Amino acid sequence: MIPSQISRPALEGPAAQREQRWPLRCVLGVVAAALLFEVGLRPFVADWNYPARTIRIVRNYNEGLSVAHFEADGLGPLGNRLTGNPPLSGAAEGLIVGDSHVSAQAVRDKETMGAVIERLSRTAGHPLNVRQYGWPSANAPTFLAAAESLLQRRNPAWVAVVLNAYNLSAEVTTSGNWRMELAPDGSFRLIEGQHPASTGWRNTARQWAVRSTLAVALWHRLGLIQNLLVPNTIAQQDRRPEDATRILRATVLGLKKAYGARLLMVYTPSFLGAGHLSVEPTETEVKRLCAEERVACVFVRAALEQDRNEHFRLSRGFHNTAPGVGHFNAIGHRIIGEEVWRYLSAHSSTPL
């Protein structure tokens, strides 16, 4: 008789009962582990879309540990990122617009660049409320498309649009919530991205999934993995200098037209680690265009480098990320806020 034909002796008594129960025990173990993670993650994980309330709370653990609060005012996907400072009735209002660096979920409310500007302005005797609207993973076309609604609803004294090389790369013509279609004469039109309708069982499943901290944590983790697989569009744009120049010019002129005299462009370097990094070609071109088109611009690279060299610390990254990698930390936000305030306070033509 060959080995495959050898019959397995039947188990009897307690051994047979244990073998019959192992699937149930396995299921119970998985359920117990899920419940343990569900309870254990609650102090560290919370998504902005549940529960639905006036003040949304996001708990972040991917970069440092922080709790962010957003006012659900209907502008942007998250709403106004609160500064942690009490609002002043009747005070002038400033606006900060950008991508995930402005939504700033990795730092506390009082550590955001808007909170820094707000405190500096109030200390100097200028009552000011700062509102911050960030679109995670968004590019310049989104900031252009949002201009009309932001200006109508908020009527700010000034608008600081925070940009980096990724926001101005060739990606703006191919993907995003909004994309830019360039014409040969340098003009452009904005095209809204297609969003699949959230109906049926998928929408129901999503509504239930966001109620689970474990499901939200897994969703965020999958998003991080997906981001690692995205090609480096900043490196790609340097291979197409003509297209890059057209995109930059269209963006600068578009922002100038959309926000008018209230515009202040704030350019931040994409990478600034421990070693020496040369100035990005995008930054050089933006600086030239701002001077040529007379657009108010602030470039924060020098201030970030000076702080790094003098204090031996990085403006990006957190204790649980690679050095200098990721979003701006509290140091980076403070320096950017100080540079913006320095410009605002030094230009008498800028209303405060």
Instruction: List own/partner pairs for 323-328 with CB under 8 A and 24 or more apart.
Output: 323/273, 323/274, 324/271, 324/272, 324/273, 324/274, 325/273, 326/63, 326/106, 327/63, 327/100, 327/101, 327/104, 327/106, 327/107, 328/101, 328/104, 328/107, 328/268
User: Nearest CA to 165 among 72, 260, 79, 268?
Assistant: 268
User: Nearest CA to 260 among 173, 148, 103, 339?
Assistant: 148
Residue 158 pLDDT greater than 60, yes or no: yes
pLDDT tens digits, one per residue of 217-241: 555 556 555 555 555 444 444 445 6
Contact present, 81 and 68 (Cβ < 8 Å): yes
pTM over 0.75: yes
pLDDT tens digits, one per residue of 244-262: 889 999 999 999 999 999 9
The per-residue pLDDT for 237 is 44
**Structure-model confidence comparison of residues 140 and 18, the more confident one:** 140
Residue 270 pLDDT greater than 90, yes or no: no
Beta carbons within 10 angstroms of residue 217's beta carbon: 19
The per-residue pLDDT for 324 is 85
Contact present, 75 and 153 (Cβ < 8 Å): yes
**Structure-model confidence comparison of residues 44 and 54, the more confident one:** 54
Give Cα 8 distance to the centre of its chain: 60
pLDDT tens digits, one per residue of 4-49: 455 555 555 565 655 666 677 676 676 666 566 555 555 555 555 5
Considering the domain 78-193+230-346 in this protein, what is its CATH number?
A: 3.40.50.1110
Confidence label for 284 from pLDDT (cuts 50, 70 and 90): very high
Most confident of 34-38, 74-78, 207-211, 335-339: 335-339
Q: How far apart are CA 33 and CA 12, in angstroms?
A: 31
Residues 6+ apart with CB under 8 A from 80: 70, 71, 73, 131, 132, 133
Confidence label for 79 from pLDDT (cuts 50, 70 and 90): very high
* Mean per-residue pLDDT of the chain: 82
